[in-house]
Each structure stands twice: as C-alpha cells, then as structure tokens.
Structure 1
Amino acid sequence: MTTRVKICGLREPAHVAVAAEAGAAYIGLVFFEKSPRHVSITEARNLALEVPPGVAKVALVVNASDEELGAILDRVPLDMLQLHGRETPARVAEIRARFGLPVMKALGVAEASDLAVLPDYEAVADQILLDAKAPKGAALPGGNGLAFDWRLVAGQVFEKPWMLAGGLTPDNVAEAIARTGARQVDVSSGVESAPGVKDPALIRAFIAAAQG
C-alpha cells in the first residue's frame, strides 16, 4: 500500500504542480496569519484552482470562528478542514456538522499521556494528525520542524485514519514510517529552503522517500 503524503503550507502555483506531479495525495493551505506559510483567501482560491482532480485540498486553521471558516469556504474550493488549535471534541463535531466537510484534528504529542484524548477526538473527527507538541511559548502550533518520540505511537490502535507529522524530512521519513506504521505522512518545514519557501527538489525527494 502506497504511503499517502500531504505537502502543507504551499504558497506558489509551481510548487502545487510539483507536489501533485510527484504523487502527493493532499495539498495543505495555511490560514493562520502568524505562520510564514499563511495565504490570503484570494491566494488560496487561486492555488486551489491549480490542484488537479484526485488531490485533496486541505485548509489548516487554528481556533477559527464560524465566520472565518465561512469566509474561507465561500471562496475556496476545499475537500477537508484541518483543525490545528485547541478545538474541543464538541467544537470539532460542530464544525463538521455545520460545514459538511471531513475534518482532520491535529493533536500535539510530547509524551504518552498526550494520547489519552485520542478516543474523544476519533469519535468526532474523520482523521487524526499527530504532530510534535509545540514548545511552551511557541508562536506556531505546528510547522516548527520538531519530531516527537515515534515509539509513543508504535503499536497504537487507531479507530480512524491517521497521519504522522512533526520534523519529517526526506532523510528520516522512511524510518518514521517503518517505526510507526504510518500510512499517511505530513510535511511542511521539512521541504523548505527557508521558512515558508518550498523547495521543489525536496518535495520530490520527500515523496519518493515516503513511497519508496
């Protein structure tokens, strides 16, 4: 079974094309102003219209209000919402019901106890994304280039499809997959030459390594 890859934080049409051609299953667009990968609604719409059929378009949002989500979805053709903030299970269920799109909930992991909430979120989300927990005081909830201890999820039984994120690069993604059994992986900073600047060669190398 081929590992499904999500390239997140894309900002250039050319990089969308590279990711799709290389075999990405998901394209991630970041709607979080503090992120160097942030795109405006107009920019996101233009990028989404470049994504070929068969590649899922995912909006990453952080503690977004209904008004913010509505403004995005009014203009941008999307396939999934990725909730990367402090959204409660009740809020996840509310967003999924209100907007009618599949929802992926990101959970920060630093120690085994962080996985205790997994059943609560699996009950309401369509997918789970496990990311390294952001350091205390960090400006970004994800995309910090940090990995967590992959042994924490080795052997974990999941009720819903899940995705591994956090500090993945072309050099370590194959090991991460082997250690965790992940069938889906997410990368952002690991395929960049500078914060927010994607590198086409690294995108290709990451997907090849993940699927190799």
Structure 2
Amino acid sequence: MSIGVKICGLNSPEAVVASVDAGADYLGFIVFEKSPRAVTAAEAGTYAKGKGSASSVAVLVDPDDAMLARVLTGMAPDYIQLHGQESPQRCQDARHYARRGVWKAFGIASAADLQAARRYEGYVDGFVFDAKPPAGADRPGGWGAAYDWSLLHDFESETPWLLSGGLTPENVAEALARSGARGVDVASGVESAPGVKDLDAIPAFIGAARAASGTSRS
C-alpha cells in the first residue's frame, strides 16, 4: 500500500525544504489568520515555489470569493482544502480556484460525524478527517488532538481521504493500522512549539509512515 503524506502548516522556507527533501507528497499552507501557522496568500506563493514534485495545498476556512481570488493570484494552489462550514456546492465552486481539485475537512468524534462526509461525495476530490475541535475553539483544526482512529476503518467511499488529528512520528504506524488510511496529514505533530516546525521531526514522521506501509515513497 502506498501512503500519501501531507505536511501542513508550513511557514518557512526551511520547513518546505525539509518536507520536500524527505519526500512529502503534499505541502499545506494555512491562509487563516487565527491559526498559529498562518501565512498570507502571497507568502504561501513564495514558499510553494520550492515545492519540487510535491503538490501545494491552500488551507482555508469559509473563504469568500475575494479570498479565493487572492489565493489563486498569490499561490495558484494545486489543491484547496476547505476547513469551515462550506456547503457541497460551495466546495464545488471553489474548484475554479485550484489547479487539481478541492478537499473538504471534517471534525470527527463519532461515527455520526463521519457520515456528514457523504453529502459531499461527487462535489469534492478528497476528504480530510481531523479531530473535532474543543468546545469554544476559535479555529476548526490544528489542535494536535487524537480521536478514535478505528472509526474510519470500515469507512468506504470512492473519494480518497487523509487521516489527520494527533499524529506524530511515534504513533503514525498505529494510526494507519487502526484507521486503514492510505494518506496522513500532520501539522502540530512535527513541531517544537505551535507554528514552529521541527526540521528533524518532519523526515522522522514521513519515514515512519512509509515504513508502516512498506514503501519508500508514494
């Protein structure tokens, strides 16, 4: 099984280089000011120039058309990941602003949360299943919280998906085994402090994910 790996919340050229050199498939840039990993659309575009063969992903939360246009102009992302309350139709419309497609993120705490993704099948090109944010949170993701990954094990969909939420170099193998995921997405799990990427943890995470799947690179 070939595992896709996304390193998210990149906000420095050094972290981009570390991710690319380690073989990341996707590089995520969070254009959302409330995130400790936030970058502007222009900064994301500058960092994404070093993506190599990886795909760039703009992570947005309930963006309006003006924001989507700024991201397209500043970054021209391969993918847009929507992490807010966007409707299926809004997700489909956002495809006009990405080169390859749109992903929709969902907060998961129970099997019922997982079923919310069904409404989006056919409207998006991928799902990201993250931990549900804590009560009163001012942002929908990036909390580094784990959940019951086994909830995903029997989830069947023609839409590909990434596992996110509380992943680290130490537990990614367990997470893959419990969830049956074919792709993983990490941000805080490869940081030394919120928004500060650990340049050693990035290759450690990618190496652990690939070792668990028996591949050197997807």
Give the TM-score band, short-chain normalised.
over 0.9
Alpha carbons 2:164, 2:184 under 8 Å: kept: yes
Kept after mapping to 2: 8 A contact 1:92/1:125: yes
TM-score (norm 2): 0.93
Deviation at 1:44, TM superposition (A): 1.1
Query: Which structure 2 residue ranges, 5 or more long, are not aligned?
Result: 212-218
Mapped contact 2:76–2:97 kept (Cα < 8 A)? no
Alignment check: 8 A CA contact 1:154 1:180 kept: yes
Distance in 1 (CA, whole Å) between partners of 2:117 and 2:15 is: 33
**Shift of the alpha carbon at 1:104?**
0.4
Match of 1:16? Answer: 16
Q: Secondary structure at the match of 2:104?
A: strand
1:113 matched to 2:112? The reply is: yes
**Which blocks of at least 5 consecutive residues in structure 1 are unaligned?**
none
Correspondence for 2:145: 146
Distance in 2, Cα, partners of 1:112 & 1:179: 15
1:38-77 map, 5 Å: 38-52=38-52, 54-77=53-76
Structure 1 residue ranges (4+ consecutive) displaced by more than 6 angstroms after TM superposition? none
Number of residues of Structure 1 aligned to a counterpart in Structure 2: 210
CA distance in 2, matches of 1:133, 1:99: 27
User: What does the per-residue CA deviation read over 1:93-134, in whole Å, with 9 as the maximum and x for residues that have no partner?
Assistant: 2222x3354000001101111122222112210000100011
Per-residue deviation, 1:12: 0.8
* CA positional deviation for 1:137: 0.7
Q: Does structure 2 retain, via aligned residues, the 8 Å contact 1:49–1:77?
A: no
More displaced stretch, 128-137 vs 115-124: 115-124
Deviation at 1:155, TM superposition (A): 1.5
After superposition, the C-alpha distances for 1:113-163 in whole angstroms (9 at most, x for unaligned) are 112222211221000010001111112211100111112111111221100
Shift of 1:171: 0.7
Q: Which residue of 1 aligns with 2:133?
A: 134
Change (3 A) 1:100 1:42: closer
Counterpart for residue 215 of structure 2: none
Q: The residue matched to 2:200 in structure 1 has which SS?
A: helix
Contact 2:36 2:194 in 1 (8 A): yes
2:2 matched to which residue of 1?
A: 2
User: What is aligned with 1:85?
Assistant: 84
Cα 1:100/1:45, change in 2 over 3 Å: closer
Distance 2:147 2:106 in 1: 12
Separation in 2, partners of 1:118, 1:141: 16
How many angstroms does 1:43 deviate by?
Answer: 1.4
Residue number in structure 2 paired with 1:164: 163
- Indicate which of 92, 96, 99 corresponds to 2:97: 99
Q: CA deviation at 1:185?
A: 0.1
Tell me how far 1:77 sits from its aligned partner: 2.8
Task: Show the 5 A alignment for 1:190-209.
Answer: 190-209=189-208
Identity %: 49
User: SS at 1:200's partner residue?
Assistant: coil
Conserved 8 A contact 1:11-1:37? yes
User: 1:57, CA displacement in angstroms?
Assistant: 0.2
How large is the RMSD of aligned CA atoms in angstroms?
A: 1.1
| Residue aligning to 2:26 | 26
